[in-house]
Amino acid sequence: MQITTENILLVGSLLLILSIIASKTAGKAGIPVLLLFLGVGMVAGTDGIGKIAFDDPGAAQFLGILALTYILFSGGLDTKWQSIKPVFKPGLLLSTVGVLLTAVSVGLFASWFADLSWKEGLLLGAIVSSTDAAAVFSILRSKSIGLKGNLRPLLEFESGSNDPMAFFLTIGMTSWLSVEGFSPVDLVPMFFKQMIFGAAAGILLGKGIVLLINKINLEYEGLYPVLMLGLVVLVYAVTDLIGGNGFLAVYLSAITMNQSSMLHHKSLIKFFDGIAWLMQIVMFIALGLLVYPSQVWPVIGLGFVIAMFLILVARPIGVWASLSFFNFSNRKKAFVSWVGLRGAVPIVFATFPLIAGLEKSSLIFNIVFFIVLTSVALQATTLAKVAKWLHLAVPAGLKRRSLLDIELSEDFKNALVEVNLPENSLIDGKKILELNFPKTSLIVLVNRNNKYITPNGATELKSGDKLMVMINSGVEEHMVRHALALE
């Protein structure tokens, strides 16, 4: 097929549509959706029936970083601080100490077992050291796995926050192997600079974005998601420009936004959920195109052994060491160890040594690819079974709904009450988003001088307004009246 703009659009749209349609059948058959997307790319690639030539690690890396940026933002926007607060400390240790121990364990084993120097082994360990946010979010949420205690927020927080550490280790090891005169000592200030600047930029820029969205007052509501698309990339780029970790900044900025009253909050969450799925599909298909199955085949045995060491030894070492300071049973530690899903992120990170031109970069890339295949095929398909086997699964009828699930659900309201604002009301002129309103309550209609207004967060309330409010309970009604300065 001749390479033209029209043909590229045709093939791209067909791959996207076929992947989504095939995912429905694959889900029923128990095949992980993410594995399917990779498979579509491989089948369409040079070694497959599609014969699409794609041999550009730089382009794949760009797509991967862009996709991961939006995936992490969507994950952060889906994360309530109230949910992760109880697991913040163990989650932070898992995403730092756990990642480091996993990287070192895999690195030393790989250098002993494979034809790699100890530095190249540590680079391989760094690349596969973090759990994949896209994989964990999609598996836990799409399968609606009910877990006891705070396991789900712990796993989601870890997967969303450990990519920065793995990215730092990968860049550090790649620099050590490729840059003359680079010393491991240089990694220490680099680590603190990346994490401190990344965290500070994420929180500050997140607050700034909330202020901008609430004040800009765009004429067309459909422009808010478009504006946010640009702002997310801006957070990553600005943070990277000042030497911080862009992935950490994007994730924390989203969590910061979720803590604030922001216009179009719910619609933005749903919009970015769709964007995250699009990014996952594009990223996995592109990486599938980049891989040559004929080159992966010779390292299957090597990759399988290292993958099993990662799953059964290295990951548990990191988990047990990180959670030993907290009150987690051995069953919970075992399950957290099993949810060490690897996805597209390690494959994206494996493009860094390829671009740097390291001697064993192709071997490392193919090993990483097979490790990802093994992890998704083995762990993603057995999460629910392992949870039941360890007695950590919650029966379907007793599943705990997260704060986000409740907030986004369409059927949580069960009462409609009318509230009249008195003359000289204390909240006269205030916007709805400025009120300390319960998250699960909603003002659906404002009657102002017999003219009916459909409100949003930017609507200013006036003395004498009659409000129709959807609430969930009597306690919530009391909170609503308090927010409206009626009590």
Q: Mind spelling out the 3-state secondary structure of the chain? A: CCCCHHHHHHHHHHHHHHHHHHHHHHHHHCCCHHHHHHHHHHHHECCCCCCECCCCHHHHHHHHHHHHHHHHHHHHHCCCHHHHHHHHHHHHHHHHHHHHHHHHHHHHHHHHHCCCCHHHHHHHHHHCCCCCHHHHHHHHHHCCCCECCCHHHHHHHHHHHCHHHHHHHHHHHHHHHHCCCCCHHHHHHHHHHHHHHHHHHHHHHHHHHHHHHHHHCCCCCCHHHHHHHHHHHHHHHHHHHCCCCHHHHHHHHHHHHHCCCCCCHHHHHHHHHHHHHHHHHHHHHHHHHHCCHHHHHHHHHHHHHHHHHHHHHHHHHHHHHHHCCCCCCHHHHHHHHHCCCCCHHHHHHCHHHHHHCCCCHHHHHHHHHHHHHHHHHHHHCCHHHHHHHCCCECCHHHCCCCHHHHHHCCCCCCEEEEEECCCCCCCCCCEHHHCCCCCCCEEEEEEECCEEECCCCCCECCCCCEEEEEECCHHHHHHHHHHCCCC
Please give the Cα distance from 487 to 484 (Å, whole number).
8
Close Cβ partners of 113 (under 8 Å, ≥ 6 residues apart)? 302, 305, 306, 309
**pLDDT for 233:** 95
Given a contact cutoff of 8 angstroms between Cβ atoms, the answer to whether 131 and 344 are in contact is no
pLDDT computed for residue 2 by the predictor: 52
Model pLDDT, residue 101:
96
Burial bucket for residue 330 (CB in 10 Å: 0-12, 13-18, 19+): exposed
pLDDT at position 250, please? 94
pLDDT of residue 228: 94
Instruction: State both tokens at 50.
Output: 């599609």
Q: According to the model, what pLDDT value does residue 27 have?
A: 54
- Please choose, from the candidates 332, 280, 337, 287, the residue with its C-alpha nearest in 3D space to the C-alpha of residue 133: 280
pLDDT at 405: 53
Residues of the chain where predicted confidence (pLDDT) is lower than 70: 1-4, 22-34, 46, 48, 50, 134-135, 137-146, 394-415, 439-440, 472-476, 487
Residue 54: the pLDDT is 73
| Joined tokens for residue 48 | 């497959």
Q: What's the CA gap between 445 and 314, in Å, rounded?
A: 56
Q: How many CA atoms lie within 13 A of 103 on its CB side?
A: 28
- What's the CA gap between 162 and 101, in Å, rounded? 13
The 10 Å Cβ neighbour count of residue 59 is 14
Identify the pLDDT of residue 398. Answer: 44
Token reading at 432: 């709805």
Q: What is the spatial distance between Cα 323 and Cα 98, in angstroms, rounded to a whole number?
A: 9
Asked whether 75 and 276 are in contact (CB, 8 A), the reply is: yes
Q: Which two tokens stand for residue 332?
A: 């919970």
Interatomic CA distance for residues 340 and 132, integer angstroms: 8
* Residue 350 · residue 364 · CB < 8 Å: yes
Q: Are 160 and 87 in contact (CB under 8 A)?
A: no
